[in-house]
Structure 1
Amino acid sequence: MTSSEFTADPAPARLTVGIVSAGRVGTALGEALERVGHLVVGCSAVSEDSRHRAATRLPDSQILPIDEVATRAELLVLSVPDYELASLASGLAATGVIAPGKLVVHTSGANGIGVLAPLTALGAIPLAIHPAMTFTGHSEDTDRLASACFGITASDEIGYAVAQALVLELGGEPVHVAEANRALYHAALAHGSNHLVTLIADAVDALRVALDGPGFPGIDPEPDIYAEPGSERIARSEPGNALAQRVLAPLVTAALENVLRSGQSALTGPVARGDLGAVRKHLEVLTAVDPRIAAGYRALSLRSAQRVDAGAELVEFLEGEQ
């Protein structure tokens, strides 16, 4: 084939992008879209933190009123809290700035495209694209998007094709979520991620108490006095939660990896063994630290016992008020 006969594949269409608003998710998505060649032409930002994020991470974007952001954008990203999304869609519809064919994406996990109905009625193409990722508000959020799955919902095959193309451009994996299943999809993600944070925070609090006290016999417990480099000596009086976190980290990391790989069979410990005595003792000592931690332990132990069909005696104990 000669050079005159060769025709290169056309480059993906570059879009002008508007972000409403420059919160943690919106800023990360805007930054990720710019990395693959799209242009963020405007974003809304009200709080000082949002304006700082926009200025530092989307420096070529103008901070504008919402209606101006929508006017300038071919792809409008609505990245606001779930409870604000319906009113934002209605408000945008009332401004008359939504032209037919405009791509309108929201990042809510709990909502499908129904919440964008006022904009769809004006001819907009509604897309729900939710990154299944937690966001800190820092630049690493953008890097993490490349390894994330995105729950996508659209009104037709064309919409799904557009949503998939956007996600694949970012390096993510598009996952179809039916409109009727968005709330369940979001509940499952929240249960697995948000409650994991609470669980680990409770475990760290209890472990910190367990590790509190004098150091090892013959070892100076001062945290700023360490052995020679390479030594495995631990300063028992390490400040704050750092020591508890360091002790717990390898265990919970392995547990998470194991359950994602092997499912329920990864469960170990006293509930899996049906050890009522150990569970009873755990509840006793946890109650002494904080009855709320003990209540969480009891609830999760009961659910674990149900999943592994533990003995009736253990289940009855956990269901009781002992």
Structure 2
Amino acid sequence: MSTVHPPNSTDGAGTQDRPARLTVGVVGAGRVGPALAASLQLAGHRPVAVSGVSDASRRRAEKMLPGVPLVPPAEVLQRADLVLLTVPDDALPGLVAGLAETGAVRPGQLLVHTSGRYGVSVLDPALRAGALPLALHPAMTFTGSPVDVQRLAGCSFGVTAPGELRLAAEALVIEMGGEPEWISEESRPLYHAALALGSNHLITLVAQSMELLRTAGVGAPDRMLGPLLGAALDNALRSGDAALTGPVARGDAGTVAAHIAELREHSPQTVAGYVAMARATADRALAHGLLKAELAEDLLGVLADEGTGTGTTPGEGTDADDDENGPEGNDR
């Protein structure tokens, strides 16, 4: 396993004079930061400081990183060779600018953020102060419990870094048990949107499906859905659109109309999502030759009528995600 050696030390010595292991600090004790620090600790690095604002963050830090002191962000940077900035996406630019303006950033210090949205340009104020910028985004959903460390094994990380720090970025990801996947600076927003589309929306769909099954009288919807959804996910990952099944792919317009009628009666808030996903599924099924054109007309007519009817149209009734982290589920 590779050992991380930052290109510069704080005292001007060369990389050969750096210690083999790094002191690690966490700014933002949400769900991601303590888990990453704990995984680095297993690799031999030493967490030395963590900052957190809420009571939940402080409890999480104490649970995941016992004995590591809770200190203000600026003090985290004073103590650590490697600093994990694990705050919400919208808070990251202001945090970086503030730390740089107050002189908290030290030359040669590895500054790592875990936002999926941003590359390394968001760290430019710290770069000008001499920091070494890395963007390491774990493509994983986090719970804020020790199980997160285990889930990092084999987890892909979206990595963006300057060329001279590529080896350091790869080494850190590998030491956390992950697999580095290189994402260009300009592709970060699209990469992040793709993860949100797959992971966050999946949770919403599953939760809605479970609620509807309970309404239909199913006593254990999780047990019913587990094998079905596991097989569907496996098939989709293996075969893509070729794995499509169900009434939309078959062109069963009558069945889809019956679904919508039932949803409107029992769970009207799910109609918009059902119609939007059915339209997207129909488009993909048509494009890949799974849905016959002669059957698609009636199906698309049902969906078009619903979209212009009295029900909620797709897009209404959505709430912004205000959790600690962003759309791919990596709650920081």
* Shared fold, TM over 0.5: yes
Q: Report the alpha carbon displacement of residue 320 of structure 1 after superposing the two structures with TM.
A: 2.7
Q: Which amino acid aligns with 2:249?
A: A
Q: Report the alpha carbon displacement of residue 67 of structure 1 after superposing the two structures with TM.
A: 0.7
Q: Where does residue 147 of structure 1 map in the other structure?
A: 154
1:278 is aligned, of 255, 268, 277, to 255
1:271–1:279 contact (8 Å) kept in structure 2 = yes
Does the residue aligned with 2:181 lie in a helix, a strand or coil?
strand
Q: Where does residue 163 of structure 1 map in the other structure?
A: 169
Q: Report the alpha carbon displacement of residue 82 of structure 1 after superposing the two structures with TM.
A: 0.4
2:299 is aligned, of 311, 314, 318, to 314
Distance in 1 between the 2:304 and 2:2 partners?
A: 63
Matched, 1:69 2:84: no
Structure of larger gyration radius? 1
Distance in 1 between the 2:146 and 2:251 partners?
A: 46
Q: Count how many residue pairs are aligned between Structure 1 and Structure 2.
A: 284
Q: Where does residue 225 of structure 1 map in the other structure?
A: none
The percent identity for this pair of structures is: 50
Q: Could you state the TM-score of these two structures normalised by the residue count of structure 1? A: 0.85
Q: Report the alpha carbon displacement of residue 103 of structure 1 after superposing the two structures with TM.
A: 0.6
Matches within 5 A, 1:207-286: 207-211=213-217, 238=219, 243-286=220-263
1:40–1:60 contact (8 Å) kept in structure 2 = no
Q: Which amino acid aligns with 2:228?
A: L
1:184 is aligned, of 182, 186, 190, to 190
Long gaps (5+) in structure 2? 5-19, 310-332
Q: Where does residue 206 of structure 2 map in the other structure?
A: 200
Distance in 2 between the 1:289 and 1:10 partners?
A: 56
Does the residue aligned with 1:175 lie in a helix, a strand or coil?
strand
Q: Which amino acid aligns with 1:289?
A: H
2:77–2:106 contact (8 Å) kept in structure 1 = no
Which structure ranks higher in relative contact order (CA pairs < 8 Å, sequence separation ≥ 6)? 2
Distance in 1 between the 2:135 and 2:196 partners?
A: 17
Matched, 1:94 2:101: yes
Distance in 1 between the 2:3 and 2:81 partners?
A: 17
Q: 1:195 to 1:95 in 2, by over 3 A?
A: same
* 1:223-263 CA-partner distances (Å, limit 9, x unpaired): xxxxxxxxxxxxxxx4xxxx122112211111011101111
Long gaps (5+) in structure 1? 1-8, 213-237
Q: 1:11 to 1:147 in 2, by over 3 A?
A: closer
Does the residue aligned with 2:137 lie in a helix, a strand or coil?
strand
Q: Where does residue 37 of structure 1 map in the other structure?
A: 44
The 10-residue stretch of structure 1 (50-59 or 171-180) with the greater mean CA deviation from structure 2? 50-59
Q: Which amino acid aligns with 1:318?
A: L
1:211–1:244 contact (8 Å) kept in structure 2 = no
Q: Which amino acid aligns with 1:40?
A: P
* 1:186-235 CA-partner distances (Å, limit 9, x unpaired): 111001000001111111111111116xxxxxxxxxxxxxxxxxxxxxxx
Q: 1:11 to 1:103 in 2, by over 3 A?
A: closer
Q: Report the alpha carbon displacement of residue 42 of structure 1 after superposing the two structures with TM.
A: 0.5
Q: Where does residue 22 of structure 1 map in the other structure?
A: 29
Q: Where does residue 16 of structure 2 map in the other structure?
A: none
Matched, 1:81 2:88: yes
Does the residue aligned with 2:216 lie in a helix, a strand or coil?
helix
Q: Could you state the TM-score of these two structures normalised by the residue count of structure 2? A: 0.83
Q: Where does residue 46 of structure 1 map in the other structure?
A: 53
